[in-house]
Every structure is written in structure tokens, then in C-alpha cells.
Structure 1
Amino acid sequence: MALGAMVALGVGGAWAQTGNPTNDALLARNEAGRKEAFRSLLTQNRYACAEVTVLFQAGLDPRRTAYWDLSCRDGGPWRISIPAERWATPTLNACGQGTGPGAGPCFRSVSTSAPGLAAAAAAAPSASCRTACGSQPQSLQNACLARCASGSTIQAAAPAATATAAAVRGRFGFIYTAEPPSTAFGFSSGKTDRLAANMDAIRACEAVAGRNQCRVALDFPNACGALVQALTTPPVQVRRLASGVGQTREQAEAQALNTCRLAEAASASITCRIAISGC
């Protein structure tokens, strides 16, 4: 989706190194200045963004189009593409919702050899973090990579069980979520320590949404839990969240899906999708 032009950013000639004037101007700012520039761009175009919580410079393509990935406390994750032509109109895509470099996958670097990028760009997610994110369900991978880019540690998902996962006594799980349309959530399951299960979930959510933006959606001791997102199309945004609990993973997923579908029965454009589940 095309956005209004970015506000003029003053920049000295010493920073004009990437062949993309707007990108050069962004690189001349500090991290806080870059986050504010993108927050202003989003809000001017009527996107919710109270605060940019994660910002990652993905690099430039051969045409010198610059790609920046970000999540806001109350929205995202998105990829913003900035053409090399001066005063060109940036475009925005929801991460993973499309094809080509303009749609991601987000929070991964695109190939570039342009000078001046490495020193100013955010550090790319480590190989181990990318591998761990690759083991997550596809619907979670962009949020996972956002947490990697913010410096969080991601634990690889356990291999899928051949049989239906079932509840085990003495195990604890939590789901924390941010207010839609934010995609942020945290999930833990199968923990023997209730406090550790609670903290793992809230930290994962806050790594994307920011501090004090996540609330407990489900506490499921001795049970399985599931989180379902109601997604609008297009553009893809989280409209509603639903959670479910059961003695098997399938029961928890079915309960969450049923809650979501009943709530959105009147909306033909809404899709209820399982975000995560576990026991």
C-alpha cells in the first residue's frame, strides 16, 4: 500500500553513501530519530503506531530501494520500501503477506553491498535465532524474527508429536496477548515451574509489544492451550483473539476456533487461524 511521502530529512553530504537520499537521511539520525520518523509516517497515513518497538534495516536491493522492517506497540509487523528516487512514495506491506522483497520475509537482510549500511543498521538476527524461528509455525515466524531483531532469545519449537498432544499433570502454561491489531503474543506450555511459565510468556509478548502492553489471556495448568487470531483481508490485520483450553491440543484448538468463528459469524471477510497451541 502506498504511503504519503516521508517528511524532508536534513542530511549532510558525508552521509550520502547508499544512493538513496531518503535512506541516507534516515541513517544520519540516531535510533530514536529513525523510530520517530517511521512512527510519524505511519500515523500521518492513519496507521496505529503509538511507539515503534522494533526497527530493523533489511538493506537495499540492486535498484537501491531501501527496506525497513518494524513493529509498533499497537500494530505490525510491517515492511516499508523506500525507492531510491528523491521524494518517491514509500510503500507498506504486512510482513509475509505477499511476494517479493517488499513483503518480506521480514527481519532478515536482503542482499546488498552498499557502503555505510553495516555501521548504522540494526544487527541481523543470529543464525541460531533464525533457525529457531524456522522451527515455529509459519504464522509465527515474522513475530519470532522481530523478537530476534530486538535481542530476545528464541527457543526452538519442539518437534511435532506423531500422536495428539495431551495434557500432563503438574505442568503449566500461559498465553499473553497485546490488544489487537497488534500481532504480539507470548506462549508457554509444559513447564514444571508455574512462575517460569508465566514469565516466559509475558517476556515473549513484551519483546514485540513493549513493556506493560500485554495481558494474560489464558492460564492453563494441567491442560493444553491454544490461541486463534481473527484476520481481516485485505489488508491483513488482527481483529480479534480467542483462546481455548482442553485435555488435548486438538480440543484446545477446536474450542478457540469455535469461539472465534461465533464472534465473527457475521463477517465474511474474517478468517480464524490458529496462531499457536501446546500442552
Structure 2
Amino acid sequence: MQSCLARCAVRQGVVRQQQEDARSRPRGRAPAPPPVPVAAPPPGPMRYYGTIYTAAPPGTGVGITVGQADRMLAHRTAENDCMNRGGAPCRLVSEFTFACAAVAHGVRQSPGTAIMTSDPSTFRLHVVGHGMANTRADAEYDAMSDCNRRDRGLTCGIVRSECSGR
């Protein structure tokens, strides 16, 4: 959604500049000839996109899209998924073309709790690690490594991983 708004703003600036250029061109002169069309590049292998969106800690929202042929749809889907799961504003963490992605949360026990469980009231989220690879195991390994690298004193665990069917 954010990248869409940015592209729209840039496009409006380009249109405005073209209109100003047309107004400043002297009257009576013939317009420049149209540009020569350039041949499209030869078709190559199909690209598939994936994106990871997360809520900023302490938010727990995570949205992952993998194997999407439409890049912008990959962004919209992951961002909406993240917001639906966490309610907080979500931000883009990564865009990739790998088949799999994973996210790990680094948590620490909440003050005043006897033990840390899967109940969110017993812990506080401090960092988010992510990983992308061609296999689920490698993506999860990368996400755990990223989480542990950010803060060694936290308990890291995979909260979400996805792979495309391709």
C-alpha cells in the first residue's frame, strides 16, 4: 500500500513536469517526432515474488507471501495479513524471489511472571528475525540465526514459515 502511494506521487510529478514543458514550448514549432519503439526483452523464466511484513515490537503481526507472480499483489497480501494478525501498523522487512520464508520472534519473560508460556502476557517481544531460502528448513535456520544474532539473551522461536508450491 505504501509503495503504491509513493509510485502515484512520483507519477503525478512526472505528469506535472510534462504539462509545464508543453506550456513552455514555443508556439508554431512542430513537436518532436515520437520516440522509436524499443523491442521488448526476450521472455525469460517466470519470476515469483515473496514479501515479509511485520509489526514493530512489541506488536506480533506477521504477514508472509511466497510464490506470487504479481509483485504488488505479494506486497498487498502480506501487509494485509500482517495487519489482520497483529493490528499494529506493519512494515516491509524483505522482498525476495526464494521459494520459502520464515519469521522468528525473540522474546524475554515479562516482569512479574513465574514462567514464560505461549500466552502473550508472559513474555515481551523484543526482536524479529527473518530468513528466506529455497527450502523451509533453510529459511527457518536463517530466521533463527538472524534472531539470535540481534540479541543473544532472548529466547527465539519460529512463529511463521511459508513455502510456495512451485
Class of the TM-score when normalised by the shorter of the 2 chains: 0.5 to 0.7
Aligned to 2:124: 237
Which of 148, 151, 161 is residue 261 of structure 1 equivalent to? 148
Shift in Å at residue 206 of structure 1?
Answer: 2.2
Aligned to 1:180: 57
Which of 151, 157, 166 is residue 273 of structure 1 equivalent to? 157
Aligned to 2:137: 250
- Whether contact under 8 Å (2:98, 2:132) holds in the other structure is no
SS at match of 2:51: strand
Shift in Å at residue 241 of structure 1?
Answer: 0.2
Aligned to 2:27: none
- Whether contact under 8 Å (2:52, 2:63) holds in the other structure is yes
Structure that is richer in helix per residue = 2
Q: Please report the RMSD computed on the Cα atoms of aligned residues, expressed in angstroms.
A: 1.9
Which of 59, 75, 79 is residue 198 of structure 1 equivalent to? 75
Counterpart-to-counterpart distance in 2, 1:188 and 1:253: 15
Shift in Å at residue 199 of structure 1?
Answer: 0.6
For residues 130-169 of structure 1, what are the structure 2 equivalents within 5 Å? Answer: none
Q: Which amino acid aligns with 1:275?
A: V
Higher RCO, 1 vs 2 (CA within 8 Å, ≥6 residues apart): 2
Counterpart-to-counterpart distance in 2, 1:180 and 1:201: 17
SS at match of 2:101: strand
Aligned to 2:21: none
Deviations 1:179-206 (A, max 9, x none): 1011112111122222211111011122
Which of 207, 228, 242 is residue 104 of structure 2 equivalent to? 228
Rg (Cα) greater in structure: 2
Counterpart-to-counterpart distance in 2, 1:225 and 1:256: 8
Shift in Å at residue 222 of structure 1?
Answer: 3.4
Counterpart-to-counterpart distance in 2, 1:196 and 1:175: 13
Is 1:170–2:54 an aligned residue pair? no
- Aligned residue pairs total 107
SS at match of 1:188: strand
SS at match of 2:77: helix
Counterpart-to-counterpart distance in 2, 1:222 and 1:273: 21
For residues 82-161 of structure 1, what are the structure 2 equivalents within 5 Å? Answer: none
Counterpart-to-counterpart distance in 2, 1:215 and 1:262: 21
Aligned to 1:217: 93
Q: So what's the TM-score if we normalise by structure 2?
A: 0.58
Q: So what's the TM-score if we normalise by structure 1?
A: 0.36
Shift in Å at residue 239 of structure 1?
Answer: 0.8
Moved segments of 4+, more than 6 Å: none
Deviations 1:125-147 (A, max 9, x none): xxxxxxxxxxxxxxxxxxxxxxx
SS at match of 1:204: helix
Unaligned residue ranges in structure 2 (runs of 5+): 1-45, 111-121
Aligned to 1:101: none
- Whether contact under 8 Å (1:170, 1:222) holds in the other structure is no
